[in-house]
Amino acid sequence: MPISRSVKDALGSSSMIRKMFEEGNLLKKQHGADKVFDFSIGNPDIEPPDAFHRVLLRFAQEDAAGLTKGVHGYMPNPGFPAVRDALAKKASREQGVTLDGSHIIMTVGAAGGLNVVFKTILNPADEVIVPRPYFMEYKSYVGNHEGILREVDSLPDFNLDLDAISKALSEKTAAVLINSPHNPTGRIYPAATLRALAEILEAHGKKTGRYPFLVADEPYREIVYISGGTPPVLAAYRHSISVTSYSKSLSLPGERIGYIAVNPGIQDEEDLLSGLIYATRVLGYVNAPALMQRIVAELTEESVDVGVYARRRDAFKTVLDKAGIPYANPEGAFYLFAKVPPKKGGSTAVTDIVGDDGAFVNHLKQYLILGVPGSGFGKPGWLRFAYCVDETLIRASGEAFKKAMETWV
């Protein structure tokens, strides 16, 4: 029995990334892991803060001593009430609006949260507008629920192109999906941009009777290098939903824990909250992992040491500056989005991936440098480097980058 056409097609189109991953592993086997400059994967390598281990240990001890009962059982689908209350306080502080526990739905990471949101709000052929470049899984998250991802350009500095978003709005628009701090560009959308976007969406809603949701994917909200942090989306627009996780802020991607924060006063609030709870159940998540819920509720003031990422960012910028490779200056997250540099002379590069970003990625591979082509993010001509690797490896890559540029002719 063959697998479904849609999954078969998706396997075909995601093979570029899979190939990168497999090639990276092969190169590490051949040359040794410390000789390969693998900047392809956004898997945080910093350990969770000490406070995480302390709480984990305390819960395990209390549990083993029989002091807690029922903490590993099923619970209400949106999560433990006490956890939702604690996170409502945190989200209220960050988002500049007052939420209570009913506005928080605990999720299986941000990925699970986005699927829950799109399952809840999309009718078949509804559109979700997303600025390019974008996290490549969005197409699946929207397509999973019969929606269509409508891509629009960003401005050259990767801020939102409000005109492009405005032109893409129609009666089919269910949502605008933004991600800040941004993967792959590291851009943080300024508060003024969010306010201007909100005005456009309000005006569209007034005219058509359908207010698009503004869905903010915010797993990097706390990995910020500029002053002022990540401007709040909930304060900017009434019909907004924030989806976040602890994958990056506490370095817990494998533990699959996050939450949705819904703006109080959002359109059809009661239906929406009930829908999100229903979707959590029927998508098969049932509820977010119980132990992790209890732990993150105790760690609302904690995060990984962002200084570590900041130092790596600076080291990587120096490497690229010296090699003469232009890039977008990252304000947050842990990615550098670099522009494929012009060649010095005639082409000798051979590509088996589409576009010049593929050619440059292949060229770098000869020097054991691994990045991901921008085509995979809907932005050919660019490539992404993830700096979830030790600073010494970043510094050591300088020589390899320099050599690679000498032969990029």
Interface with ligand PLP (CB under 6 A): 42, 109-111, 135, 179, 183, 217, 219, 245, 247, 253, 258
* CB count in 10 Å sphere of residue 384: 26
Straight-line distance from the first to the last Cα atom of the chain, in angstroms, rounded to the nearest whole number: 49
Q: In this structure, what is the dihedral angle of CA atoms 267, 272, 274, 277, given to the nearest 10 degrees? A: -150
- CA 306, distance to chain mean position in Å, is 17
Work out the angle between the directed axes of helices 15-31 and 5-13 (0-180°, nearest 10): 50
Helix, strand or coil for residue 175? strand
Return the number of the residue (115 or 368) whose C-beta is nearest ligand PLP. Answer: 115
Helix, strand or coil for residue 217? strand
Distances (CA, A) of 336 to 46, 173, 242, 319: 18, 31, 24, 12
Return the number of the residue (363 or 384) whose C-beta is nearest ligand PLP. Answer: 384
At closest approach, how far in Å is the CB of 377 from ligand PLP? 10
Return the number of the residue (241 or 404) whose C-beta is nearest ligand PLP. Answer: 241
Contact of 285 with 111, CB cutoff 8 Å: no
Return the number of the residue (24 or 109) whose C-beta is nearest ligand PLP. Answer: 109
At closest approach, how far in Å is the CB of 270 from ligand PLP? 27
**Closest CA relative to residue 233, chosen from 279, 184, 208, 266:** 266
Contact of 174 with 213, CB cutoff 8 Å: yes
Distances (CA, A) of 226 to 14, 103, 159, 231, 316: 33, 29, 15, 11, 17
At closest approach, how far in Å is the CB of 253 from ligand PLP? 5
At closest approach, how far in Å is the CB of 119 from ligand PLP? 15
At closest approach, how far in Å is the CB of 258 from ligand PLP? 5
At closest approach, how far in Å is the CB of 282 from ligand PLP? 19
Return the number of the residue (244 or 400) whose C-beta is nearest ligand PLP. Answer: 244
Q: Please return the burial class of 157, using the count of CB atoms within 10 Å of its CB with bins 0-12, 13-18 and 19+.
A: exposed
Contact of 143 with 316, CB cutoff 8 Å: no
At closest approach, how far in Å is the CB of 322 from ligand PLP? 28
Return the number of the residue (253 or 330) whose C-beta is nearest ligand PLP. Answer: 253
At closest approach, how far in Å is the CB of 251 from ligand PLP? 11
Amino acid at 37: F
Residue closest to ligand PLP when measured from CB atoms: 109
Return the number of the residue (95 or 183) whose C-beta is nearest ligand PLP. Answer: 183
At closest approach, how far in Å is the CB of 327 from ligand PLP? 18
Distances (CA, A) of 323 to 79, 338, 380, 399, 400: 49, 12, 21, 9, 9
Tokens found for residue 382: 């660019």
Return the number of the residue (135 or 360) whose C-beta is nearest ligand PLP. Answer: 135
Return the number of the residue (219 or 232) whose C-beta is nearest ligand PLP. Answer: 219
